Amino acid sequence: MNDSNLSFFHLRFLIPFFAIAFLFCFSFVFYPASALSKTLESRLSNYGKITSFSLMERNGRSIDDKELLGKIWLVNFIFTRCNGPCPILSSRMSQLQKDLAQEIQLVSITVDPNYDSPQVLKEYAERFNADENRWLFLTGEKKEVYDLLIKGFHIGIQEDLEQTNPQERFIHSQNFLLIDQNGFIRKIYHGEDWQDLKQTLTDTKLLLLEKNKPWVLKLPSLNALLNGSCIFFLMNGLYFIKKKMIPFHKACMGTAFMVSMGFLASYLIYHYHAGSIPYQGQGWIRILYFGILISHTILAAFVPVLALLTLYQAWKGHFEKHVKLARWTFPIWLYVSFTGIIVYIMVYH
């Protein structure tokens, strides 16, 4: 059997092996990442759609659900005579007015509409430097407001009629609700927990991407698939060189390099649009995550350079130098690809 027949013989039996291995990689990397686990899109839940409404803003104009349709908005619930948590909640909304993107609409709805007239709300809003264009204060008929709170936002509201002190008459939700452009409640935050509220910075960015650039949200799963594919080609490249099957080794290592470059491009595009997604885990798992992330990030910076140098030495025929470099490049490259998947799972699942 001559060399060409030998190559064909190997190739004929290796094609099924490549196909099976790739399907294995696809099943265990891409499918769990996109279907079984929590991806960027599913970090934001769906608590149902709010009901239609029409309320009065502090400047006297009518605001209804249709006007807010197409906008991403954050809503909380207050009353102006409150001497408890309401001023704190409004202060935090005031800070979010500065921190959130300009496209995000802020809304505060009174739970004491009989007293909180548009004029009263206007004076209250001025205390917190509320921008009329970005931060709405809404009131209306008591029944309509309460129907919206209970049926639309699914929050509790209780008025203690025996309470003579109006500052303590209302017991209401201190939550902030994130509403998407289609009127669905996507996340609920504890208003008294500033760390929880700061997640709105990331979550509103996600919703803006979902609204304007939905394809960006697919890139983390694509990145996981590319990392898994790189592992596949690296391991096959190692197998072929051990078997002295040089052409197949070259094909696998060259493909691994192209896949890695594709991953790098996808990674940079994603983070350019989405920024950094903070890790949510706490305790020992958080320490483990940052240990993996730091080692992954440092070594990832060396992979393109090491891979290029290693491939260059092989291309020039300097095989002794190529082998010496490969002994460092291969395990680093493999580690970076593997930990890339681990970081993805820990952040997005």
* Cβ partners under 8 Å of residue 115, min gap 6: 79, 80, 81, 166
DSSP one-letter code for 53:
-
Handedness of CA 145, 151, 157, 161 (dihedral sign): positive
Question: 194, 212, 230 — which closes off a domain?
Answer: 212
CA distance 138 to 121: 8
Average pLDDT over residues 227-239: 90
State whether 185 and 61 are in the same domain: yes
Confidence of residue 171 (pLDDT cuts 50, 70, 90): confident
264 three-class SS: helix
Is residue 219 in some structural domain?
yes
More confident residue, 223 or 159: 223
Residues 96-100: contacts with CB within 8 Å, 24+ apart?
96/197, 96/200, 97/129, 97/130, 97/131, 97/134, 97/135, 99/201, 100/74, 100/200, 100/201, 100/204
Is residue 48 in some structural domain?
no
Number of domains in the chain: 2
Query: What CATH number is attached to the domain comprising 328?
Result: 1.20.120
Average pLDDT taken over every residue of the chain:
85
Average pLDDT over residues 175-185: 94
According to DSSP, the residues that pair with 21 across neighbouring strands are none
Asked if 251 contacts 245 with a C-beta cutoff of 8 angstroms, the reply is no
State whether 286 and 148 are in the same domain: no
Element (H, E) at 135: strand 135-139
Confidence of residue 76 (pLDDT cuts 50, 70, 90): very high
Confidence of residue 36 (pLDDT cuts 50, 70, 90): very low
State whether 223 and 269 are in the same domain: yes
Question: 212, 228, 262 — which closes off a domain?
Answer: 212
Q: Which amino acid is at 282?
A: Q
Q: Which amino acid is at 284?
A: W
Is residue 47 in some structural domain?
no
Question: 187, 212, 237 — which closes off a domain?
Answer: 212
Q: 19 is written with which tokens?
A: 């196909």
Range of the domain at 318: 3-36+215-348
Confidence of residue 17 (pLDDT cuts 50, 70, 90): low
pLDDT of residue 160: 66
Confidence of residue 32 (pLDDT cuts 50, 70, 90): very low
State whether 202 and 60 are in the same domain: yes
How many beta carbons lie within 10 A of that of residue 303, not counting itself? 20
100, 97, 99, 109: which is closest to 133 by C-alpha? 97
State whether 159 and 232 are in the same domain: no
Asked if 39 contacts 33 with a C-beta cutoff of 8 angstroms, the reply is yes
State whether 237 and 267 are in the same domain: yes
CA distance 121 to 135: 12
Q: Which amino acid is at 135?
A: W
State whether 72 and 207 are in the same domain: yes
State whether 242 and 197 are in the same domain: no
pLDDT of residue 1: 44
43, 32, 40: which is closest to 341 by C-alpha? 32
Asked if 330 contacts 234 with a C-beta cutoff of 8 angstroms, the reply is yes
Q: 328 is written with which tokens?
A: 């460092």
Residue 34 has pLDDT above 80, yes or no: no
pLDDT of residue 166: 65
Lowest mean pLDDT among 161-165, 175-179, 189-193, 310-314: 161-165
Residues 11-19: contacts with CB within 8 Å, 24+ apart?
11/248, 14/248, 18/236
According to DSSP, the residues that pair with 157 across neighbouring strands are 172
Q: 72 is written with which tokens?
A: 């991403």
pLDDT in tens, 78-137: 999 998 899 999 999 999 999 999 999 999 999 999 999 999 999 999 999 999 999 999
Query: What CATH number is attached to the domain comprising 125?
Result: 3.40.30.10
State whether 12 and 121 are in the same domain: no
State whether 79 and 198 are in the same domain: yes
